[in-house]
Amino acid sequence: MLLELKNIFKWVTVGGNRVFLLKDVNLQVQEGEFISIMGPSGSGKSTMLNVIGMLDGFDEGEYNFLHESVHKLKEKQRAQLYKQYIGFVFQQYHLIDELTVYENIETPLLYQDVKSSERKAMVADMLDRFNIVGKKDLFPAQLSGGQQQLVGIARALIAKPKLILADEPTGNLNSKQGEEIMDLFTQLNKEGVTIIQVTHSEKNAAYAGRTIHLLDGRIEQQVTN
Amino acid sequence: MFRNYLKTAFRNLAKNKVYSFINIAGLSIGLACAMLILLYTKDEASYDRFLPGVNNIYRIVSKEVNPDGSILMQSGNTGSFHGPAFASGVPEIVSFVRFQGDYVNIKKGTEVLGQDAHRVDSNFFSIMQFPLVYGNGKTALQQPDAIVLSETVARKFFGSADVVGKTLQLQRNGTFKPYTVTAVAKDCPQNSSIKFQMLTKMELSAEEISDRMNWFNFFLNTFVVLAPGADAKQVEKKMMRFYEMDARETIKIVAEKYNYKAKAQYTLQPYTDIHLSKEYRADNGMVGASNPMYSYILSGIALFILLIACINFVNLTVARSLKRAREIGVRKVIGSDRRQLIGQFLGESYILCFIAFVLALGIAQLLLPFFNDLSNKALSLTYLFDVKLVSSYAALFLVTGFLAGFYPALVLSGFNPVETLYNRFRLTGKNYLQRSLVVLQFSLATLLIIATVVMYRQFQFLVSKDLGYNDKHVLTVPNVTGNKIAVFRQELLKNPNIEQVAIRNNGFNVTLARINGNKELEFTMDWVDADYLPLYKIPVIQGRNFSRSFSSDTASAVIVNEAFVKAAGWKDAVGQVVDFWYNNKKYTVVGVVKDYHYAALNEVIKPQLLCNNEDNFGLAVIRIKEGSAAAVLPFIEQQYKSIVPLQPYSYEFKDISNQRQYEAEAKWKKMLLFGAVLTIFISCIGLFGLSVLAAEKRLKEVGVRKVLGASVTTIATALSKDFLLLVVISLFIAMPIAWLLANKWLQNYPYRAALSWWLFAAAGAGVVLLALLTVSFQAIRAAMAKPVKSLRTE
């Protein structure tokens, strides 16, 4: 098992009242799964994704990731953990504007102290694989949305994570670009990468093996496609 | 990793030109100032330390203490007697050398040139080891007719430095005698209290050497070398014991004869302390005496400027962090930890600081001539180029980068990635730090501006105050003595452009005499002829002026000023007797002049006594017609040269020499102005940057307001108001402090400009106006923008 959420609660206090963002969420994810999270706006999809990605904490419950109890870890160890195993893909791509395509993809390796020669080879591989060798010296602003998202995914993959968390990865793309990205995810999943994506689109959700429906911070139903 | 940071940093700098400019301009100006001040303080601290064995060299200084404990006199001077006496009586004093300022006339062909010189003992070079270019220091000053020249002076007289064996004609006791150059020394370094151009051997009469009365003569510097390891405090005790024993008889005689009750105290002043000493100044041939206050004020201003520039950096970086929040979030998500981000942002501040540092070196080099003029120095960046200076510059760089970068780095690296990535992020709180820092900046700037305004007022007051006499169109010519006086006057008055000629003593003389039978009074004594008071238009308010028709005037008449009358307590001054008991002369007061400022306005008018005795006459005072200077100056020179052939000719305009008394004030004034302009400039560009960011942040709000019908004026006011409020707060902080400081400073002057409220109001209004211009420019631009545009970006 890759990860397990047990009775996760997360809330904020507004005017003395607890507003639940996540309410008793239980989820088990096996390595190699492809999962979609769906639900209306404000149902807690992104929050859940961030909790899984360890970017956000929770107030109650247990979270085990590869036999580590995340809720017991210190901030630093947690960062170490997600740095090593998790890659993130965002709706707004979130590339660093001041860095070129090449540099954007390279940056996670820098933070993991990968040697220069090794880095070069890894980035070159990735550029090659995504067919963006010709764009490596361009800045994000010079790319189309689809291309930016490709770079975003390349960056998420460069450190060879076990898990990709994608928050509406096709939300800002047209349907053709979206399809390409989803094909890419399917391909990656076949290669063994676990993928959890948040999406609004039934069509994209169908690429996954399992779809989780959230409502008001609660898992309403799980559907196996 | 480092390259990645470097790239982001540079691309960020290039992308945000306004902020980069504000930060780099501010920091480089601040750093340049700090560099110059470091150079200055380094030079001050290095003064005289280049001499080998300088730590064992001391100057004998003395203090005369009254029986009631008050100090009668305090000076670095000793006489010819003290050195040899103490050296013979105190074993720890290994050797001594005496050093006295001198001025000699030198004949070169038919011309006579005045030349600064010093008289020293023959062992001068074995104690003060100034390097020689030619000759041998040990033997150079053995012969009475030997002279040692500096390289520059050697070139001046001979055209080359290799002049050992050549002779110069020096005037001694009225006649010119040949002196042989025995050595040529390298020019003294600029950070030396001794800067000799010409040295001659000190010649002393048998009486000067043996007469114990000379314990009471003080007119030169005596330096002693202590045995290595000797404790100066112990040596001082031994000196006092020796003095009390050796001079016992003399002390008794002086006490009886002159009713002199003060007791002399001798101490040792380390040679390296002389330069910055206030009690025992470098004088009598020593030069460059400096007030440590200058170092403090200069350092203070430099620190202000640097601090204000750093505040700009902190404020702008934090305010701009909104724009970089996303990058920070992304970096965190893809694996950066907080330490690495702090490193990145600190690194960016160091890159910026480095650019500013390099620019600052250039600016410092450019400003150096101006700064040298202000600080009376001859500094250059290369001249003090050593490990210490380089390391202090390196420290300056590191501290500045850290000061500017650390806080923003800490804030920025602490952003929560989830918030920044989902556009939920906003800088919370009221941003008190930013506001306080702006207030601090403007308080400092206002403080300096008010200080400058007050300084200008006081300076204006000093140079324009009525002195009680007319110093316009008056020039003085020294070295007119004896029977030359009458001829010179007579010849000058033949020129219709010369209105009046008077004569007085050259220099300044303070002495004491008895009045009312037994009261002793200290006063300034000057010797003037009958034309002197009319020439300067100084009114005689009681009695009469000196007159050539009273032949007794030269022997026994004196005129006193009002201050003298007041100090003496006289009701009717005319006819009173002034008794110079120590040389058996009594004078009768024949007139009283209205008080006039014969000395600088830094002092109250003290008692003055004018005497008509022509023995001390030596300075011709000439009043010329307005606007005739060009025509009349060559005439005076020509007359002088034909009447007084063997003296160097020089002249000085009285009003100019009066102005020169306020040179120190003039320099302070310039320094403060410079500091004030820089601080307000840097503060304003910082404020500009903040207002740009604030306007950007409120772009949407402005758009909404406009759609709802707000006018440009209301919006511009809303945008400017916050910043102006901060500036007004700074005024309220700075003004009381400035008022206190200005008052305290003005206490130094007995005659001072009034500190009127409008000075402060004007300075404050100026600051507010500048701030308003700075802020409103951006506010109006933002308010004029089309709302459609700003709203659509959302």
For A40, the domain range is 33-55+74-224
Cα separation of B475 and B535, whole Å?
11
Q: Are B327 and A108 an interchain contact pair (Cβ–Cβ within 8 Å)? A: no
Which residue of B1, B12, B330 is in closest CB contact with A110?
Answer: B1
Can you tell me the distance from the alpha carbon of A90 to that of A156, in angstroms, rounded to the nearest whole number? 10
- Cβ distance of A94 and B329 shorter than 8 Å: yes
Chain B contact set for A95 (CB, 8 A): 330
Decide: B655 and B471 in contact? Cβ < 8 Å. yes
Per the DSSP assignment, residues forming a β-bridge with B120 are B99, B201
Determine, for residues A110 and B4 on separate chains, whether the beta-carbon distance falls below 8 Å. yes
Provide the 3-class DSSP secondary structure of residue B193: coil
Distance from CA of A212 to the nearest CA of B (A): 22
CATH of the domain at A121: 3.40.50.300
The ipTM assigned to this model is: 0.87
B671 lies in the same domain as B645 = no
CB contacts, 8 Å: A108 with chain B: 334-335
**Lookup: tokens for B683:** 């503060």
Q: Decide: B263 and B65 in contact? Cβ < 8 Å.
A: yes
The reply to whether B103 and B235 lie within a common domain is yes
Q: Where are the alpha helices (DSSP H) in chain A?
A: 45-52, 75-85, 101-111, 116-129, 145-157, 175-190, 202-205
Res B704: pLDDT: 81
Same domain (yes/no): B606, B570:
yes
- Whether A132 maps to a domain, the answer reads yes
Q: Which two tokens stand for residue A211?
A: 């779809």
Query: What is the rounded distance in angstroms from the CA atom of residue B300 to the CA atom of residue B304?
Result: 6
Tell me the three state secondary structure of residue B567: helix
DSSP state of B426: -
Task: Say whether B390 sits in a helix, a strand or coil.
Answer: helix
Shortest CA gap B413–chain A (Å): 14
Domain match, B79 and B228 both: yes
Identify which of B8, B329, B336 has the shortest CB distance to residue A98: B8
A 97-126 → B contacts, CB under 8 A: 97-99, 103, 106-108, 110-113
Instruction: Quote the number of domains for chain A.
Output: 1
CA dist B93 and B232 (Å) reads 10
Distance CA B319, CA B690 (A): 7
Which of A98, A116, A123, A165 has the most B C-beta neighbours within 10 Å, making it the best mutation to test the interface with B?
A98
- CB–CB contact A108 B15 (8 Å): no
pLDDT in tens, A62-103: 999 998 898 888 888 888 888 889 999 988 888 988 889 999
Verify that B608 and B682 share a domain, yes or no: no
Which structural domain, as residue segments, surrounds residue B757? 2-41+292-461+663-792
How far apart (Å, rounded) are the C-alpha atoms in residues B220 and B172?
A: 19
Between vectors from CA B17 to CA B11 and to CA B20, what angle results, nearest 5°?
Answer: 85
Would the CB atoms of A94 and B8 count as touching at under 8 Å?
Answer: no
Nearest-by-CA chain B residue for A56: B418
Which DSSP string do the residues of A80-146 spell out, in sequence order? HHHHHHEEEEETT----TTS-HHHHHHHHHHHTT--HHHHHHHHHHHHHHTT-GGGTTS-GGGS-HH
Of A97, A105, A146, A147, the closest CA to residue A124 belongs to A105
* β-pair type (B132-135, B175-185): antiparallel
- What gap in Å lies between CA B518 and CA B51, rounded to an integer? 51
- Contact: A111, B8; criterion CB under 8 Å: no
Shortest distance between the Cα of B692 and any Cα of chain A, in A, equals 21
CA dihedral of residues B377, B383, B388, B390 (deg, nearest 10): 110
Using N-to-C axis directions, what is the helix angle for B338-375 and B292-333, rounded to 10°?
160
Q: Is residue A149 within 8 Å of residue A167, measured between CB atoms?
A: no
CB contacts of A156 in chain B (<8 Å) are 334
Task: Say whether A98 and B330 touch across the interface (CB within 8 A).
Answer: no
Percent of chain B with pLDDT over 90: 45
DSSP 8-state assignment for residue B78: B
Residue B330 C-alpha, separation from nearest chain A C-alpha, in angstroms: 6
Mean pLDDT score of chain A: 90
Residue A19 within any structural domain of the chain = no
Quick check: B15 and A56 CB within 8 A?
Answer: no
If asked whether residues B692 and B787 sit together in one domain, one would say: yes
The DSSP secondary structure of B697-715, one letter per residue, reads: HTHHHHHHHHHTT--HHHH
Of A117-131, A210-224, B280-294, give the lowest mean pLDDT range.
B280-294
Find the mean pLDDT for residues A17-41.
Answer: 92
Q: Is residue A202 part of a domain?
A: yes
Residues B33 and B71 in one domain: no
pLDDT at B415: 83
Pairing outcome for strands A3-14 and A17-29: antiparallel
Angle at B515 between CA B511 and CA B517, to 5 degrees: 135
Q: Which residues of B touch A79 (CB under 8 A)?
A: 335, 337
Closest Cα in chain A, distance from residue B190 (Å): 52
- When the pLDDT of each residue in chain B is averaged and rounded to a whole number, the result is 88
Instruction: Mark which of B252, B276, B300 sits at the end of a domain.
Output: B276
Both B779 and B680 in one domain: the answer is: yes
Say yes or no: B521 and B454 in one domain: no
Kindly determine whether residue A112 and residue B11, on different chains, have CB atoms separated by under 8 Å: no
Residues B577 and B705 placed together within one structural domain of the fold: no
Residues 6+ apart with CB under 8 A from B231: none
Does the residue B655 lie in any domain?
Answer: no
Give the 3-state secondary structure of residue B682: helix
Give me the residue from A76, A94, A99 closest to B8, CB to CB.
A99
Residues 6+ apart with CB under 8 A from B205: none
Taking residues A44-55, report their average pLDDT: 90
Residues B36 and B148 in one domain: no
The alpha carbon of residue B286 and the mean position of all alpha carbons in its chain are separated, in whole angstroms, by 16
Please tell me the distance from the alpha carbon of residue B522 to that of residue B506, in angstroms, as a whole number. 20
Which residue in the set A56, A111, A155 is minimally distant from B418, CB to CB?
A: A56
Q: Is residue A12 part of a domain?
A: no
Structure token digits, residue B309: 């520039």
Residue B473, in any domain of the structure: no
Quote the pLDDT of residue B794. Answer: 39
Three-class DSSP category at B377: coil
Taking 50 as the pLDDT cut, the residues of chain B under it are 793-794
The 10 Å CB-count burial string (b at 16+, else e) for B765-784 is eebbebbeebbbebbbebbe
Phi, psi of B288, deg, nearest 5: 85, 10
**Nearest-by-CA chain A residue for B337:** A79
Kindly report the nearest CA distance between residue A55 and chain B, in angstroms.
6
Q: Which of B624, B649, B674 is the last residue of a domain?
A: B649
What is the DSSP code string of B276-327? Answer: G-SSS-S-TT------HHHHHHHHHHHHHHHHHHHHHHHHHHHHHHHHHHHH
Structural domain includes residue B49: no
pLDDT tens digit sequence for B205-260: 888 888 888 888 888 999 999 999 999 999 999 999 999 999 898 888 888 877 77
Q: Do A99 and B1 touch (CB under 8 A)?
A: no
Whole-number Å distance between alpha carbons of A130 and B260:
104
Q: Say if strands B167-172 and B175-185 run parallel, antiparallel, or are unpaired.
A: antiparallel
Q: Pick from B649, B676, B705: which residue ends a domain?
A: B649
Long-range contacts of B595-600 (CB under 8 A, 24+ apart): B595/B468, B595/B561, B595/B562, B595/B563, B596/B467, B596/B468, B596/B469, B596/B536, B596/B538, B596/B561, B597/B465, B597/B467, B597/B468, B597/B469, B598/B524, B598/B526, B599/B524, B600/B658, B600/B661, B600/B662
Q: Which residues of B touch A (CB under 8 A)?
A: 1, 4, 7-8, 11-12, 15, 326-327, 329-337, 340, 417-418, 421-422
Consecutive H or E run containing B57: strand B57-65
The whole-angstrom separation of Cα B241 and Cα B246 is: 9
User: Contact at 8 Å (CB) between B209 and B98?
Assistant: no
How far is A34 from A195, CA to CA, in rounded Å? 5
H or E element, residue B135: strand B132-135
Q: CB A138: neighbour CB atoms within 10 A?
A: 15
Backbone angles phi, psi at B646, to 5 degrees: -100, 30
How many domains does chain B contain in total?
3
Taking contacts as CB-CB distances below 8 angstroms, the residues of chain B near A153 are: none
A212 strand-pairing partners: A37, A222
CB contact under 8 A, A50 and B333: no
Note whether A216 contacts B: Cβ–Cβ < 8 A. Answer: no
Q: How far apart are CA B252 and CA B254, in angstroms?
A: 6
User: What residues of A are in contact with residue B332 (Cβ under 8 Å)?
Assistant: 55
Check whether residue B72 and residue B210 sit in a common domain: yes
Q: Which residues of A touch B329 (CB under 8 A)?
A: 94
Distance of alpha carbon B705 from alpha carbon B245, whole angstroms = 94
A103 contacts on B by Cβ (under 8 Å): 4, 7
Q: Quick one: B220 exposed, middle or buried, by C-beta within 10 A (0-12, 13-18, 19+)?
A: buried
Residue B439: inside a domain: yes
Cα–Cα distance between A38 and A213 in angstroms, integer?
A: 5
B174: in domain? yes
Contact A95 B330 (CB under 8 A): yes
